[in-house]
């Protein structure tokens, strides 16, 4: 028995749910499958930028449905020289928040179900068969997707199945293994009594550049701690655990956490895919979104906002006669300039002298601080200054998400 829908989404993370909600609101029949059962954890920094928050607001997710959701206004950056730059986000709406992926993803799934989207958990993808000439012609022929629960057919398949996308592997089996541009490590802390219980910290430690370490506050005295390094840099992935122990022992880190902070024993690490300009974005009307499109910001490693946006673009494209071409053009328009600028800025941060100079400039005046922190949290797309089509009234001065 084969079940048909207009759109089949494989993966119920933020990218997949964003695609499903967008397509369903456009009047398409949508089905979502995921091999996991929610709630399930995802190794992540748990931070939500202004851009991500605006998209979640647009999708209708309410913060009060996410148990660990914590809004944050106060931000501290620490230069490689030890200079401390304190920043504050506006009060008019939410510009930064932290929520565990365990809670956020489950809340998104519940929200999509409440909106009428059919979601099947515990269903694993096994095979995909494209219609004849699908790579050249995006017509109305259906794809057949085999799963652990039987076969599904759909005109459009949205692959929201992670950086090692089984769907991409099935369609491009000869591709060499991909390890990602960055590698990150995460731990949780409890009984955080220092300023990190309310304030978001980013530490630009000299040996991590162009990467950084972070502490993001959660509810109930908890914090998400971690750091990321560029793959191929002077620091090796195999040395990350020892390097992290060294960073955690530093006085400024311990002071931020407080004397009584307890670091959980569990350490999680994950690769970060950030090469959207060279990634496979579609194969016919199979559309790759989120980590499957390698859409993470190559400068910061932030991926939730990018996942949501790529999912929404895929959901919009599914309504068109040529979804693959429509989606690829939309991704180029919304992602490519930002990715290229982030690459350039990453090279600046990779030089300790330039990184120090950049933070010194930011620290020179309240106006600079105010605009920089909004830009840092993607209140506007990264390369907006260089893409006039995205200029608008109220640039870097708009209200935040969920503004009353």
Task: Indicate the DSSP class of residue 347.
Answer: H
Residue 131: CB atoms within 10 A of its CB come to 18
pLDDT higher than 70, residue 13? yes
List all residues 6 or more positions away from 206 whose beta carbon is below 8 Å from its beta carbon.
80, 352
Tell me the β-bridge partners of 31: 8, 118
The radius of gyration of the chain's CA atoms, rounded to the nearest angstrom, is 21
Residue 173: CB atoms within 10 A of its CB come to 7
Mean pLDDT over residues 229-253, rounded? 91
How far is residue 183's CA from residue 375's CA, in Å, rounded to a whole number?
24
How far is residue 77's CA from residue 214's CA, in Å, rounded to a whole number?
9
pLDDT higher than 60, residue 257? yes
Is residue 331 very low, low, confident or very high in pLDDT (cuts 50, 70, 90)? Answer: very high
Task: Indicate the DSSP class of residue 231.
Answer: T
Question: Which of 290, 335, 278, 272 shows the shortest CA–CA distance to 20?
Answer: 290
Domains defined along the chain, listed by start: 2-61+101-178+273-343 (3.50.50.60)
pLDDT at 235: 82
**Residue 381 and residue 390 in contact, taking contact as beta carbons nearer than 8 Å:** yes
Residues 126-158 pLDDT 10s? 999 998 765 554 456 899 999 999 999 999 999
Residues 336-387 pLDDT 10s? 999 999 999 999 999 999 999 999 999 999 999 999 999 999 999 999 989 9
pLDDT at 232: 80
DSSP-based three-state secondary structure for 176: coil
List all residues 6 or more positions away from 173 whose beta carbon is below 8 Å from its beta carbon.
none
**Residue 123 and residue 99 in contact, taking contact as beta carbons nearer than 8 Å:** no
pTM over 0.85: yes
């Amino acid at each position: 028995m084969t079940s048909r829908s207009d759109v089949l989404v494989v993966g119920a993370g933020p990218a997949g749910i964003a695609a499903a909600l967008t397509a369903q609101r456009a009047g398409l029949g949508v089905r979502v499958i995921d091999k996991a059962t929610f709630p399930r954890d995802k190794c992540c920094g748990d931070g939500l930028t202004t851009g991500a928050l605006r998209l979640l607001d647009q999708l209708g997710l309410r913060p009060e449905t996410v148990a660990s959701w914590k809004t944050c206004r106060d931000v501290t950056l620490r230069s490689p020289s030890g200079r401390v730059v304190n920043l504050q986000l506006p009060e008019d709406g939410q510009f930064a928040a932290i929520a565990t992926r365990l809670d956020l993803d489950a809340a998104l799934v519940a929200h999509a179900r409440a909106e009428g989207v059919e979601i099947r958990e515990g269903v694993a993808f096994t095979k995909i068969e494209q219609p004849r000439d699908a790579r050249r012609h995006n017509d109305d022929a259906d794809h057949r997707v085999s799963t652990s629960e039987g076969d599904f057919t759909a005109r459009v398949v949205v692959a929201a199945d992670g950086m090692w996308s089984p769907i991409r592997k099935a369609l491009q089996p000869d591709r060499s293994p991909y390890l990602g541009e960055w590698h990150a490590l995460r731990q949780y802390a409890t009984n955080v009594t220092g300023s990190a219980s309310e304030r978001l910290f980013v530490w630009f430690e000299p040996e991590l550049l162009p990467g950084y370490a972070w502490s993001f506050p959660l509810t109930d005295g908890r914090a998400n701690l971690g750091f990321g390094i560029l793959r191929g840099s002077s620091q090796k992935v195999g040395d990350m655990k020892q390097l992290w122990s060294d960073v955690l022992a530093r006085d400024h880190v311990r002071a931020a956490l407080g004397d009584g902070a307890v670091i959980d024993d569990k350490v999680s690490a994950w690769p970060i895919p950030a090469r959207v300009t060279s990634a496979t974005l579609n194969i016919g009307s199979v559309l790759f979104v989120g980590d499957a499109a390698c859409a993470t910001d190559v400068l910061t490693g932030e991926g939730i906002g990018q996942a949501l946006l790529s999912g929404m673009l895929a959901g919009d494209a599914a309504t068109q006669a040529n979804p693959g071409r429509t989606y690829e053009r939309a991704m180029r328009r919304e992602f490519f300039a930002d990715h290229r600028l982030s690459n350039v800025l990453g090279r600046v941060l990779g030089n300790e002298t330039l990184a120090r100079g950049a933070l010194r400039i930011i620290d020179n005046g309240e106006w600079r601080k105010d605009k920089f922190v909004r830009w840092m949290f993607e209140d506007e797309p990264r390369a907006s200054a260089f893409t006039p089509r995205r200029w608008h009234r109220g640039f870097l001065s708009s209200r935040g998400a969920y503004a009353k």
